[in-house]
Structure 1
Amino acid sequence: MSKLDKEYFDNDETGEKTITFEDPSDIYDDFYAKIYDQLFSTPERISFEKTMIEANALAAWPIAETKILDACCGTSPHSEWLCKTEVDIVGVDISEAMLTRARQKCSRARFYRGDVSRTETFPPKTFSHAMLLYFSIYQFQNPKLVFDNLYTWMKPGGVLVVHLVNPDKFDPILDAASPFVAFSLQKYSKERVMDSEISFDQFNYKSRFIKDKEKEGATFEEIVTYQDPSKNEGNKYRENKHRMFMPSLDAMMDIIASSGFSRHEMVDMVTAGFEYQYLMFFTK
């Protein structure tokens, strides 16, 4: 356990049992899938993204010709409203636990366990649209490979929407931990606030975003403190470490362009309370 981890736990008694996950295939298990939407998929964010996606990606396309890929879909919060339309929806994620939750939101959508960094995951020219939302692209050490694959899988004229941020300025406090909707503590703090804390019935959740100022790497650490370790295989703490690759906004857009995409629209999410976060729309 690192010094930082010890400082961040409720206590640092050496006798407490801790389980640590660093591989995404381990992090996104049944426990994490159950709390994921409460942590990250707030109604305000989903509603804003829905409005922007409808206006900038779907409006010009006939329903019969629309086939959407929800890449790295997780629990696929957007499939819930897309399911009410007649568009064809396909989701892909590495976590079966997350996909199980996604299927509950839209039974007619098709959800597959797969890796978007592997070219053979889908045939060429399959989709009219693709979505890569909520920090998903930053989980890949080689985002160029992902965008190359998306370009291959999309039809000519297709629309890609990607969630991007300014890694040095966006607010890393989780939406669910913010005291008010569309409120940022960063405006009232001399130093960038990196920590979030949320209380659940049977455990306490904390997270911390750590950006490497000299390089393009970052770490998102989560620590769950269980009230009753006996119900969690004797573990008092669960620690998740997400390793992220976060180049500058301009550098990431250059990577996307190098895969063949043309920038179509840039939507600033500040009006929804997400400063230095953007929905970027590209066309093939």
Structure 2
Amino acid sequence: MKQFFKPIINFYHKLSFWAKILILIVIVLIVVVTFKKNDKKEGYQQNDSFIFKQGVDVYDDFYSSIYDQLVFSNIKDNYEIGKIIEKTQPTSESIILDVGCGTGHHVAALEAQHIPAVGIDISHAMIRQAKEYYPDYNFIQGDVLKAMQFRANSFTHILCMYFTLYYFPDKLTFFKNCMYWLKPGGALVIHIVNRDMFDPVIPPANPLLLLSGQRYADKRITESKVTFDDFIYKSNFDLPEGSDTAKFIEKFSNRETGKPFRRNEHVLYMESEDRILTLAREVGFIMQGEIDMIKSGYEYQKLFILVKPS
């Protein structure tokens, strides 16, 4: 081995200073390019195979790493938190649970106002992402359909934002658990949409930002398309007429070859607004008010404030 490298070493020593620098630059570039090629997100790494994800499995490391690029809206989050604070008056003595916390932005927004908050999500990957973004805040991996997840009277507020409620086929159990976990007089804030009218196009696929393209379309637009550096994302929202169950299908394909490499299937249990609120009342919640999301660009979407009796 020494005999093999000896001529190379001798040749290197005979080079001028600038020639040596040039060789080092070339080596560094080769290393950088090699690492860059290997630094691919989970789903895209496996572009020679096809991945199908369904249910909670959708929210893996790959999806959690691009989640904010697909759905995050700082305008929406700030509007929601501002209105929730205005309507429910939390203080530094409050403790708020954010159900389906995702990457943690609602928790961070509350903590920035000195309001203690805890985020919970069933996805391990989403919790890891939230902790990476906000290592100083409290995030828990858990299942809110299990009553023993928290003790009775643990929270002054519970938030269930951005379609999280629609992932629960058993909303009655969810409402019962929230009633159990809330302190007397505590508030539950839930996100509900007009399932036939809301805009299912994701934010980066809507060039109008605060305006819905649905206003100017002859037929409801249900498809989205976003181009990433390495892949193309497409989605479609499908709610069959007369059904309470919708599907949100996401497809990923290689940008260069067009070859599909991943498909996500979200099942959303979208009972009518009246039916959902009736279930909440059956558990004992009292309607306190509602927040229309239209001013944040989310038309036909509302936050409902429900209160546990004192």
Q: Which TM class, normalised by the smaller chain length?
A: 0.7 to 0.9
Tell me if the contact between 2:96 and 2:116 (Cα under 8 Å) persists in the aligned partners: yes
Rounded Cα–Cα distance in structure 1 between residues aligned with 2:87 and 2:69 = 27
Q: Distance in 1 between matches of 2:76 and 2:194?
A: 17
Matched residues in 2 for 1:131 and 1:254: separation?
Answer: 18
Higher helix share: 2
Q: CA deviation at 1:278?
A: 0.3
Aligned residue among 97, 102, 116 for 2:144: 116
Q: Is 1:95 paired with 2:123? A: yes
* Aligned residue type for 1:157: G
* Matched residue type, 2:170: N
1:212 pairs, out of 219, 231, 240, with: 240
- Seq. identity, %: 35
Q: Which residue of 2 aligns with 1:186?
A: 214
Does the Cα contact within 8 Å between 1:172 and 1:193 map onto a contact in 2? yes
Identify the residue that residue 12 of structure 1 maps to in structure 2.
none
Contact kept, 8 Å, 2:235 with 2:251, in 1: the verdict is yes
Name the structure 2 match of 1:32: 63
1:163 is matched with 191
- Displacement of 1:273: 1.7
Q: Give the corresponding residue for 2:92.
A: 63
Q: Identify the residue that residue 53 of structure 2 maps to in structure 1.
A: 21
Contact map agreement 2:101 2:119 (CA 8 A) in 1: yes
**Counterpart AA for 2:79:** F
Higher relative contact order (CA 8 A, sep 6+): 1
Shift of 1:52: 0.9
Deviation of 1:105 (Å): 3.6
1:149 aligns with 2:177: yes
Partner residue, 1:273: 297
Contact 2:101/2:107, CA 8 A, preserved across alignment: no
TM-fit CA distance, 1:124: 0.7
1:114-140 Cα offsets, whole Å, 9 max, x none, are 100111111111000110000000011
Pair member with larger Rg = 2
Q: How does 1:38-53 map to 2 (within 5 A)?
A: 38-53=69-84
The residue aligned with 2:284 is 260
Q: Distance in 2 between matches of 1:29 and 1:178?
A: 25
Deviations 1:158-217 (A, max 9, x none): 111111001111111112211122111111111111001111111111110000212211
Indicate conservation of the 8 Å contact 1:268/1:279, yes or no.
Answer: yes
- The amino acid of 1:192's aligned partner reads R
The 4+ residue runs of structure 1 with deviation greater than 6 A are: none
Hey, what's the Cα distance between the residues in 2 that align with 1:200 and 1:260? 46
User: For 1:249 and 1:23, how far apart are their aligned partners in 2?
Assistant: 23
Indicate which of 223, 234, 239 corresponds to 2:263. Answer: 239
> What 5-or-longer segments of structure 2 have no aligned partner?
1-47
Partner secondary structure for residue 163 of structure 1 = strand
